[in-house]
Structure formats: structure tokens, C-alpha cells
Amino acid sequence: MDTMTSIPITRTRQSRITELDIDHLVFGATPTDHMFMAAFRDGGWQNPQIVPFGDLTISPLALGLHYGQTVFEGLKAYRTAAGHIHLFRPHRHHARLNRSLGRMGMPAVPEALFIDALHRLVELDQDWVPAKPGTSLYLRPLVIATEPRLGVKISEEYLFIVVGMPMADYYTGKLKVKVETRFSRAASGGTGAAKCGGNYGAAFYPAQQAKSGGFDQVLWTDATHHEFIEESGTMNIFFVIDGILITPPLSDSILDGVTRDSLLTLARAGGIPVEERKISYKALEKAFLSGKAIEAFGVGTAAMVSPIEVIDIMGKTYYPSVGPDALMYRLKNELQAIHTGTKKDSYYWNYIIQTVLQ
Ligand code: COI
């Protein structure tokens, strides 16, 4: 029996899929034909529907535009070798969405609504899930406060939207990053663990400064002492030192990354020593100075596993190992094989959407 939420669909009259250039995908620039929307009003989510992708109509007084009540997620759908579609760990993304919403004083999205919205949208726009190796359909659930009232208050109205777009690599080359000790991404007690829009907006200026110095991203340090490494822009951070996979422990200033958790799980299962522990930039520099081969990489849904080839620590340049036998590539390949169904999904991470095969 189909127990899914009933979601009315208004189909587009003119699909844009023939305009899609799969060999030249620009992240975020090619939305699929449709989007999901539901409204929160009178204390509940109402009117779920799938409509042609298009602009929203919200009041210029909408609270989310002024005071930052916006929360989002990012997850991916992959085409399997058999032609079906895998949504990767949607339940874990849902749980994080609700934690973020809670931190921002926004109403939870029921799990069934979240999963059904994704399922129905991906099913409808299934031709947009690319099969080319390294590509996927990126899905962006978003909740934004829409109550038209300028008072500084928690909104009583919201929109929950899901849009999708095919993507290839988020970062096309190996990354150059700079340890950031002037600006802060997130302070203890703040919103760092929430996937709220403000965290990203506040990071733009420091990232722009780093870019003008020739770097792709910053390596954030803790806001109190600017000593311990926390995240890189848009990614969780991992190091391999002495064969040990190291990542900073989760805290209220670090995003609980789904890719982070997946890699830790695969590494532990593969007998790789893992440490979730604080690592200071001074300890990292000491390890470089001792001549050890060190790997550094960022991980995230969009970024997947992105090798770092340069780290600037207080003006000195260090070069992590990025050779083809690096551990990060082994982990990346294993994760990719699970995404696309060429390796057994022992953890039931994939939510399978059966497609009607042509
Ligand atoms: C993701 O990896 O899904 C993100 O949300 C990071 C970035 C694209 C905003």
C-alpha cells in the first residue's frame, strides 16, 4: 500500500531538460523542471504541492529576509548502474534539518513530509538524475520565515521548499587553504552546528579575503582562542597523520556532516585507526615540520572528498600529500561505490527510488 503523503502535482508545460549540458555543469545553475513547496500556517504544515520551478512570491516584510530565519539542507540522488535512483541518507539529513530548525526557533518538518517531498520530486524529475560518473542530482531543501511583519520576532509562517539541480564536482581542483585566526565562523553557544543561512553569509567576507590571497577556502579555528581547527568553508575537515584518520569532534560550533559520519563509519569498519579529537594548528604545523607525510581533505555533500594540496599556517606554506595512493581516495572510492550501488550498502544508507526503465 502506498502510504505516502498525497502531493498534488502541476506539471511544467515545457521541460528544459534538452538545454542541460551535462559536460559543463555549473553548481546551482540548472534547476530541474519542478520544485516542492509546503506552507506552515496556523501551527501546521499545509498545502504540500509540486509545481513548475519558478520564482516565489513573498512579502518584502517576510521575517526571513530581515532576521535570518532560514535553514537549509543539501543531499544527493545518484543514478545506479541498474538505472534506479539512490537518495543518500535522507533520514539523517532530515534529523539534522530539524535540529537546525529547532536552534533557529523554527517549526520541525515531519519526517514523512520531508521524505515524500524528496521522493515525489525526484521521481517526477528523474530524467534530471545524471548517470555520468562523478555526477549526481543535488537536492536543496530550504525553510524560510515568510510572516509579513517587521517586528523582531519568531515568524509564525514559513515555506518549506525543495529544489534539485544536477551537479558534477563542486571543487574542480585540489584546494589551497589558509588557517584563519582573525575571523570566526562560530562561537560556542552560537549557531555553528545549525545549517542556517547566516553561517554561510558571515563566512563570505573572510573567504573573499582568503581568495584575494590566492586561497580557495579558509580553515576555521575556534572562536575563543583561534587555536583548534574546526571546519573548512563548506566542508568538515580531516587529516591523516601517522596513518590515523583525525577529525575535530562535533561540538555546537561544528556542523554534523553526513559525509563526515559516513567516512568515519567506513574507516572504522575497514580497520583504519580513527580519532575524533581536537587538533591545533600548532600541532599540525609541528607534524609538518617533523617531515611526516600528512593528508588533509575537506568533506561534505557538495564537496564530497576534496583533497587539500596547500595549507598556509600563519604565513608559512605546507604541502599535504595528495598522491594517488592516499587514504582519502580509498575512502572516497568506497563511498562513491555505495552511492551508485556497485558496493553493498551494509548500513542501509541508500533510499531506493525505483524508476520505470525504458
Ligand atoms: C553541502 O555540501 O550540501 C552544502 O550545503 C555546502 C555548500 C554547497 C553550501
Residue with cell 512579502: 59
Q: What is the DSSP letter of 148?
A: B
CATH number of the domain at 147, please.
3.30.470.10
**Gyration radius (Cα) of the chain, Å:** 21
Q: Which atom of ligand 1 is nearest to the CA of 300?
A: 2
Distances in Å between the alpha carbon of 150 and those of 57, 67, 132, 145, 299? 17, 9, 47, 12, 38
Task: Please check whether residue 111 lies inside any domain of the structure.
Answer: yes
Residue 227 has pLDDT above 60, yes or no: yes
Domains identified in the chain, total number: 2
The residue assigned the cell 512570491 is 57
Q: How far is the CA of 231 from the centre of ligand 1 (A)?
A: 13
Question: In this structure, are 62 and 90 located in the same domain?
Answer: yes
User: Cβ distance 190 to 222 under 8 Å?
Assistant: no
3 state SS of 286: helix
Which phi and psi (to 5°) does residue 233 adopt? Answer: -55, 125
List the grid coordinates of 277. Answer: 579529537
Same domain, yes or no: 13 and 152 = yes
Distance 301 CA to ligand 1 centre (A): 6
In this prediction, residue 6 carries a pLDDT of: 82
> Residue 3's pLDDT is what?
65
- Ligand 1 atom 7, closest CA: 234
Q: Closest ligand 1 atom to the C-alpha of 195?
A: 5
Classify residue 105 as exposed, middle or buried by CB count within 10 Å of its CB (0-12, 13-18, 19+). Answer: exposed
257 lines ligand 1 (CB under 6 A): no
Residues in the chain: 358
Pocket test for ligand 1, best of 220, 234, 299 (most atoms within 8 A of CB): 234
Contact 235, 190 (CB under 8 A): no
For the stretch 141-174, pLDDT in tens is 999 999 999 999 999 999 999 999 999 999 999 9
Do 97 and 156 share a domain, yes or no? yes
Domain, as residue range, for 290:
175-340
Instruction: State the pLDDT confidence band at 357, using cuts at 50, 70 and 90.
Output: low
Do residues 58 and 198 both lie within one domain? Answer: no
Tell me the C-alpha distance between 13 and 216, whole Å: 41
Cα of first residue to Cα of last residue in the chain, in angstroms, is 25
| Confidence (pLDDT) at 1 | 44
SS3 63: helix
Kindly state whether residues 87 and 205 are assigned to the same domain: no
DSSP state of 24: G
CA of 341 to the centre of ligand 1 (A): 23
Q: Are residues 51 and 134 in the same domain?
A: yes
The answer to which of 4-8, 43-47, 342-346 has the lowest mean pLDDT is: 4-8
Residues 195 and 160 reside in one and the same domain? no
The DSSP bridge pattern shows strands 274-276 and 295-300 to be unpaired
Q: Are residues 328 and 197 in the same domain?
A: yes
All three cell numbers of 127: 530524467
- Which of 143, 168, 193 lies at the terminal end of a domain, its last residue? 168
Q: Cell for 203?
A: 563566512
pLDDT, position 121: 98
Q: Within a domain: residue 274?
A: yes
Are 242 and 249 within 8 A, CB to CB?
no
pLDDT digits (tens, 9 = 90+) for 260-293: 999 999 999 999 999 999 999 999 999 999 999 9
Domain termination residue (choose one: 117, 133, 168): 168
What pLDDT, in 10s, does the model give residues 7-36? 999 999 999 999 999 999 999 999 999 999
Residue 317 burial by Cβ neighbours in a 10 Å radius (0-12, 13-18, 19+): exposed
Res. 199: pLDDT tops 50: yes
Q: Is 300 in the pocket of ligand 1 (CB under 6 A)?
A: yes
Tell me the CATH number at 254. Answer: 3.20.10.10
The percent of residues above 90 in pLDDT, for the chain, comes to: 96
Q: Is the dihedral of CA 148, 149, 155, 156 positive or negative?
A: negative
Q: Is residue 180 domain-resident?
A: yes
Whether residue 218 is found in the same domain as residue 332: yes
Residue 60 falls within a domain, yes or no? yes
**188 and 143, same structural domain?**
no
Instruction: Enumerate the H helices of the chain as residue ranges.
Output: 63-67, 90-103, 111-124, 197-212, 258-269, 281-289, 327-339
- Is-contact 210 228, C-beta < 8 A? no
What string of DSSP letters covers 179-247? EE-SS-S--TTSSTTS-BHHHHHHHHHHHHHHHHTT-SEEEEE-TTTS-BEEEETTEEEEEEETTEEEE
pLDDT at 2: 54
CA distances from 81 to 85, 131, 260, 321, 348 (A): 9, 8, 25, 32, 17
Distance CA 191, CA 334 (A): 32
Mind listing the pLDDT tens digit for each residue in 240-257? 999 999 999 999 999 999
140 and 197 in a single domain? The answer is no
Q: Does residue 291 share a domain with residue 163?
A: no
Q: pTM score, two decimals?
A: 0.97
Query: How many A from CA of 291 to the centre of ligand 1?
Result: 33
Provide mean pLDDT across the span 185-190: 96
The predicted pLDDT at position 358 comes to 47
pLDDT digits (tens, 9 = 90+) for 57-102: 999 999 999 999 999 999 999 999 889 999 999 999 999 999 999 9
Instruction: Please give the pLDDT value at position 305.
Output: 97
For the segment 286-334, what is each residue's pLDDT rounded down to a tens digit?
999 999 999 999 999 999 999 999 999 999 999 999 999 999 999 999 9
